[in-house]
């Protein structure tokens, strides 16, 4: 029975992704990105059928296991644009520092102003880095790694959905700004969105994702201790 459940939820997840990815290709609106539409539909299915997360994850974990290789695969556009990255290394480092500090402080002040407890405050500061790093930062700062995953998803999906509209509103088209905004604010999900803009944007986003993860893991605990 367990094997059947594992295969069933794996196939359902895969099928939903294929369907909504196809719909996104036909209707390329930001709110139609597959990671958002699939998540919403899966939550509705699991809730309506009263299926526990553990039951779903028995099959979903096979897809989750691909997260690591998928992130590593983002190094390919990074390698292709290595000369470009070398040329703009100073600009990239400055943007990484700014993105990290803004990401940490925006999460911190949002939680404080909203009146959340110390655990939430300590967790949300890691929202702008990829999931494994966010969970580790949350553990270091006294937060809850499970909640960190939720905040990372919100930041990733939110950035991928609102990013294109903000770029259009603010007139941002430079590949450095677009790439770093996606990678520094929305990590892996944002980087996949940046790839739609081009290889240069994806390369900048990839290195932004990596360097912001390193930067936040160092700056997060330091800034939190200063404000606590």
pLDDT tens, position by position, 115-134: 888 898 889 988 888 877 88
pTM, entire model: 0.79
Token pair for residue 224?
A: 């939190």
- Cα separation of 106 and 227, whole Å? 13
- So what's the pLDDT on residue 167? 93
8 Å CB contact between 152 and 167: no
Spans of all domains in the chain: 2-65, 73-227
Maximal CA-CA distance, the chain: 56
Non-local CB neighbours of 221 within 8 Å, separated by 6+ positions? 137, 140, 141
Q: What is the pLDDT of residue 64?
A: 67
Q: Which of 24-38, 160-174, 200-214 has the highest mean pLDDT?
A: 160-174
Q: Which of 151, 153, 122 is CA-nearest to residue 138?
A: 122
Where does the pLDDT of residue 78 fall: very low under 50, low under 70, confident under 90, or very high at 90 and above? Answer: low
Residue located via tokens 């405050």: 121
pLDDT of residue 100: 92
Cα 199 vs. chain centroid, distance in angstroms?
A: 19
pLDDT in tens, 177-204: 999 999 998 888 888 889 889 888 888 8
């Amino acid at each position: 029975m367990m094997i059947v459940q594992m295969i069933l939820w794996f196939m359902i997840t895969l099928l939903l992704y294929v369907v909504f990815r196809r719909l996104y290709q036909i209707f390329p609106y930001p709110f139609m990105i597959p990671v958002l539409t699939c998540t919403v539909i899966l939550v509705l299915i699991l809730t309506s059928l009263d299926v526990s997360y553990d039951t779903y994850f028995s099959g979903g974990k096979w897809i989750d296991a691909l997260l690591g290789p998928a992130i590593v695969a983002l190094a390919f556009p990074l390698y292709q644009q290595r000369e470009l990255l070398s040329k703009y290394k100073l600009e990239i480092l400055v943007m990484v520092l700014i993105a990290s500090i803004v990401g940490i402080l925006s999460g911190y002040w949002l939680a404080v102003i909203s009146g959340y407890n110390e655990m939430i405050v300590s967790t949300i500061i890691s929202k702008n880095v990829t999931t494994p790093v966010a969970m580790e930062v949350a553990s270091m700062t006294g937060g809850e790694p499970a909640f960190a995953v939720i905040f990372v998803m919100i930041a990733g999906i939110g950035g991928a959905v609102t990013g294109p509209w903000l770029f259009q509103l603010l007139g941002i088209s430079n590949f450095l700004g677009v790439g770093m905004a996606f990678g520094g604010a929305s990590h892996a999900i944002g980087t996949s969105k940046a790839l739609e803009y081009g290889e240069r944007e994806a390369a900048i986003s990839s290195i932004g994702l990596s360097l912001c993860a390193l930067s936040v893991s160092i700056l997060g605990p330091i800034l939190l201790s200063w404000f606590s």
